[in-house]
Amino acid sequence: MTSDSLAEILKGIRCYFDKALPVMLLYKLFVKLPELLAYVSIEEETLTRLQQKLTDFLKFLQKNHSTFFLSTYDSIKGVEGKGKGKDD
């Protein structure tokens, strides 16, 4: 497998993510990726290298989670309820 093949696949994933971002978060893309790759005709060696690169990326995110992820998130109820209470 050439690095050109891997670069092309990663470029495609980046493009797909950019188009999917309004409706799909990054973690959902990674969950859906095996299903999406089932429609792609790529060599086994290329698929193995791609899987390793994606695994490396997920490990990087895990190691640096405090930089990229919040420790707490607003609940949907909390966000929707703002401005509707007696105290507002």
Percentage of residues in the chain having pLDDT higher than 70: 74
Q: Which residues, 6+ apart, have CB-to-CB distance to 36 below 8 Å?
A: 16
Q: Which of 5-9, 25-29, 59-63 has the highest mean pLDDT?
A: 59-63
Nearest Cα neighbor of 9 from 17, 20, 68 is: 17
For residue 86, pLDDT beyond 60 = no
Global confidence as pTM = 0.54
pLDDT on residue 51 = 84
How far is it, in rounded angstroms, from Cα 63 to Cα 66? 8
DSSP 31-60: HHHHHHHTTS---HHHHHHHHHHHHHHHHH
Q: Which of 34-43, 55-64, 76-85 has the lowest mean pLDDT?
A: 76-85
pLDDT on residue 15 = 80
